[in-house]
Structure 1
Amino acid sequence: MAHDHASTQDSGPVTWPIGFQAYTGHAGLREHGDDISIVASDRPATSAVMFTQSLFAGPAVVLSRAHAAGQNLRAVTTLAQNANVATGRQGEENAAEVVRRVAGILGIPEDEVLIGSTGVIGRPLPMDTIRTHLDETTKRGLAAFMAGPLDVARAMMTTDTRPKTAVRAVGQARIVGIAKGVGMLEPDMATMLAYVFTDAEMSPADLDSALRGAVNRTFNCLSVDTDTSTSDTVAVIANGAAGPVDPAQFSEALADLCLDLTQQLASDGEGATKLLRVIVGQAGDYEQAKRIAKSVVNSPLVKTAVHGADPNWGRVLMAIGKNTDDTDIEPGNVTVRFGDIEVYPEEPEGDTLDKLVEIMRQDEVDIIVTLGIGKAEATVYGCDLSAGYIRINADYTT
């Protein structure tokens, strides 16, 4: 088991909030490296969770939905490299068995355990190796729980190239988030697997409200390839060890942490070389702004132009224009900028074109659209589209 003490962009080591501990290990889900993790609170906790809306939601999601209803989850276990989706009754029984065994290790009720499973769809879990591993972990007990947030973030990875963690503070409490997911990624509720742990004391209603508000403007504004996963789950668990905090301040800190994770996920999209932000302003309402922004960020032609540092603003107009139900959009009222340079309706020439290419070559590219309708604004997050994405996904199971 690893014991990573690296630092995040915040100062200091990445450590759990008060009262949380974790374990990672190798259970035979992948050939090498840790592929199973458990994070648990040493005391009762309050929780809020959002799940994928996919019609093919996996057994982990179905079981976790039932457990999440009580809003008193205190542990999360994650299996990497295998989504355990489309695996029938056996898949359901396997997910339940993993939860039962983890609950036994922790000495808590089964319905206080959330399970996540991520990876290839349609393959049964290797239960023989998982059982052997969990039997050994049971013998070791909580003494095995020495993993840090970076260890857990790594153990959750599939095609990710780096672990994602974020840390924020609110009052005397800390909020620590971990996430994975870089493909099959356009959330329709939350995103991939993202877990947030805090020692803040929050009521179930306030925690749920904070999570939904944060997800709506961060994870649900993320897209790599327009495909919604069967396993998406985002959860926040608050054990109150640091005492009560102001709900409004907590909501702000949680949203900021989720935005941090969202941008890390977007910039690590499969095959990605750049983070792409699309900001749409002067829309009639937030939903319209987000819809138009998603149309731009999801366009393969826009994404490939960004990859090639080609300031082809015509592709942005195309992406806006295909929203034919938005009849209040008038081309003459629309403006488009790449970075701080307007490309429509004032078409750039000469030296400005050279500056545009330099903007498009940056690691982070902003496309700003104004619709000239109202005052609403939305920002969405994505990445460029490279040959690397095709290579990863063409050979994913073979």
Structure 2
Amino acid sequence: MSWCGRSEVSVARDFRVHCGAAGVLPDGRDDLAVVVGPPGTTSALVTTRSRTAGPCVVLSRQARAGAVRGFVVLARNANVATGEQGLRDAVEVRGSVARVVGADPDELVVCSTGMIGRRYPMASIRAHLSALTWPPSDSIEAAAAAIMTTDTRPKVRSVPGAGFEVTGIAKGVGMIEPDMATMLSFVMTDAQVPAHVLDAAFRRVVERTYNSVSVDTDTSTSDTALVMASGTAGPVDNDAFERALAEVCTGLVRDIASDGEGAGTLITCTVTGAGSPGQARTVGKSVINSPLVKTMVHGADPNWGRVVMAVGKCVNEPDLAPERLRISFGGDEVFPRAADRDTLALVEQHLRGDEVLLEVDLGLGEESWTVYGCDLTEGYVRSNSDYTT
């Protein structure tokens, strides 16, 4: 896996990028990103299941199914809980961009991320869009930076395939427990993939990646994941394409989890020996979401009993049995074998690393699942206790 380059990247040549400061907040930072592919681009879209989803999500769900070729993002304002006026503002933004780029409005999705309950500063946004010219010459990396809120770094991943390429960007560090985090992700490829094939592949990948990451158990009102295929590279092997798509999305998920608000450690929990994929994911999420497990990792405290606890609280999984359970930290087993002093020292050393690997074998079957998260620190509390001020 590699970081994508600039204009040398074939995907970047297919998808035009504009970034700018539209005045969402008055600090001059880029807060608008527009990315548009050529006519004929196919797409697949997955959005949050939140019951309080924002107007941008509602509008994007009405986009042309399988034929979206671009997106607009306004960062640091979620445009959520803004009523009918919020929807009208989103419609206006999408329509204005569509006129500039020469697309139909329903070929674009519009996304927002940031503070809930505040309307867009439409006067400054209108002024920026009225001066927008096309085609632009900004980079994919610039778009990744423009869509950030409290992210500490842009998130960009690119994977070359056999005659094609897949490149993705994402933002997200808090309010992340996707049910489809605040999470936005946009993946672009030059592969030619029919819309129905793209949709099926993307939904499978989303389950294993974006639906398998958690920072704080909270589901955002704005989560959106979009993949667009320009087709300029011609037909490709569908299985090879899905593997590359999964590699990009897995990389982005790892970036999101490791950049969680206040986070210092990426936690990866792999559950094996499950009776079903759903059971494996349920147990993995229980471990990743446990505040006691998170603080154990943050303090590098080899208190492996907290993982036993997190597995045991999956009360809707009656097949779980302690006599079948095996737990390891970075390959060192701590249960059921009694963890001696030397093993605990190895576990403590592992917990001090940048990534902690938790392995849980349920002893019930052949299914497995990997879930991604991070530790819980004082930084998370500070970041979210003064978010509006």
Which TM-score tier does this pair reach, normalised by the shorter chain? over 0.9
Q: For 2:195 and 2:213, how far apart are their aligned partners in 1?
A: 26
Tell me the equivalent position of 1:151.
142
Residue type at the aligned position of 1:373: L
Tell me the equivalent position of 2:290.
299
Q: For 2:268 and 2:140, how far apart are their aligned partners in 1?
A: 27
Tell me the equivalent position of 1:142.
134
Tell me the equivalent position of 1:382.
373
Conservation of the 8 A alpha-carbon contact between 2:272 and 2:367: yes
Q: For 2:113 and 2:382, how far apart are their aligned partners in 1?
A: 20
Given the two structures, how large is their TM-score scaled by the length of structure 2?
Answer: 0.97
Does 1:165 pair with 2:144? no
Q: For 2:386 and 2:107, how far apart are their aligned partners in 1?
A: 37
Does 1:103 pair with 2:95? no
Q: For 2:344 and 2:216, how far apart are their aligned partners in 1?
A: 29
Residue type at the aligned position of 1:345: P
Tell me the equivalent position of 2:117.
122
Tell me the equivalent position of 2:355.
364
Residue type at the aligned position of 2:259: D
Query: Structure 1 regions of 5+ residues with no counterpart?
Result: 1-7
Provide Cα deviations, 1:291-340, integer angstroms capped at 9, x if missing partner. Answer: 00100000000000001101111111111111112111111110111111
Paired residue secondary structure (1:319): helix
Tell me the equivalent position of 1:338.
329
Residue type at the aligned position of 2:122: M
Q: 2:2 aligns with which of 3, 9, 34?
A: 9
Distance 1:35 1:16, change over 3 A: farther
Distance 1:11 1:189, change over 3 A: closer
Conservation of the 8 A alpha-carbon contact between 1:187 and 1:232: yes
Q: 1:262 aligns with which of 217, 230, 253?
A: 253
Paired residue secondary structure (1:259): helix
Conservation of the 8 A alpha-carbon contact between 2:66 and 2:196: no
Conservation of the 8 A alpha-carbon contact between 2:181 and 2:220: no
Q: 2:14 aligns with which of 19, 25, 29?
A: 19
Shift of 1:109: 0.8
Distance 1:16 1:229, change over 3 A: farther
Pairs aligned (count): 386
Paired residue secondary structure (2:269): strand
Residue type at the aligned position of 2:129: L
Distance 1:190 1:376, change over 3 A: farther
Q: For 1:156 and 1:11, how far apart are their aligned partners in 2?
A: 17
Tell me the equivalent position of 1:46.
42
Paired-residue identity, %: 48
Conservation of the 8 A alpha-carbon contact between 1:223 and 1:266: yes
Shift of 1:190: 8.0
Residues 221-232 of structure 1 correspond to what in structure 2 (within 5 A)?
221-232=212-223
Does 1:84 pair with 2:61? no
Q: For 1:55 and 1:12, how far apart are their aligned partners in 2?
A: 38
Conservation of the 8 A alpha-carbon contact between 1:309 and 1:357: yes
Provide Cα deviations, 1:352-383, integer angstroms capped at 9, x if missing partner. Answer: 22221110000000110111111111110000
Residues 277-288 of structure 1 correspond to what in structure 2 (within 5 A)?
277-288=268-279
RMSD of the TM alignment (CA)?
A: 1.4
Q: For 2:294 and 2:5, how far apart are their aligned partners in 1?
A: 36
Paired residue secondary structure (2:372): strand
Q: For 2:364 and 2:2, how far apart are their aligned partners in 1?
A: 38
Conservation of the 8 A alpha-carbon contact between 2:181 and 2:219: no
Conservation of the 8 A alpha-carbon contact between 2:6 and 2:139: no
Q: Which segments of structure 1 move beyond 6 Å, counting only runs of 4 or more?
A: none
Tell me the equivalent position of 2:30.
34
Conservation of the 8 A alpha-carbon contact between 2:173 and 2:259: yes
Shift of 1:13: 4.7
Q: For 2:275 and 2:102, how far apart are their aligned partners in 1?
A: 53
Tell me the equivalent position of 2:304.
313
Query: Structure 2 regions of 5+ residues with no counterpart?
Result: none
Q: For 2:185 and 2:59, how far apart are their aligned partners in 1?
A: 17
Given the two structures, how large is their TM-score scaled by the length of structure 1?
Answer: 0.94
Residue type at the aligned position of 1:87: T
Q: For 1:112 and 1:280, how far apart are their aligned partners in 2?
A: 40
Paired residue secondary structure (1:303): helix
Provide Cα deviations, 1:148-193, integer angstroms capped at 9, x if missing partner. Answer: 1110000000010000001012222111100001100011118710
Does 1:58 pair with 2:49? no
Q: For 2:189 and 2:270, how far apart are their aligned partners in 1?
A: 31
Residues 155-194 of structure 1 correspond to what in structure 2 (within 5 A)?
155-189=146-180, 192-194=183-185
Conservation of the 8 A alpha-carbon contact between 1:170 and 1:245: no
Conservation of the 8 A alpha-carbon contact between 2:175 and 2:181: no
Conservation of the 8 A alpha-carbon contact between 1:300 and 1:385: yes
Q: For 2:85 and 2:316, how far apart are their aligned partners in 1?
A: 44
Q: For 2:10 and 2:253, how far apart are their aligned partners in 1?
A: 20
Shift of 1:42: 3.0
Residues 201-240 of structure 1 correspond to what in structure 2 (within 5 A)?
201-240=192-231
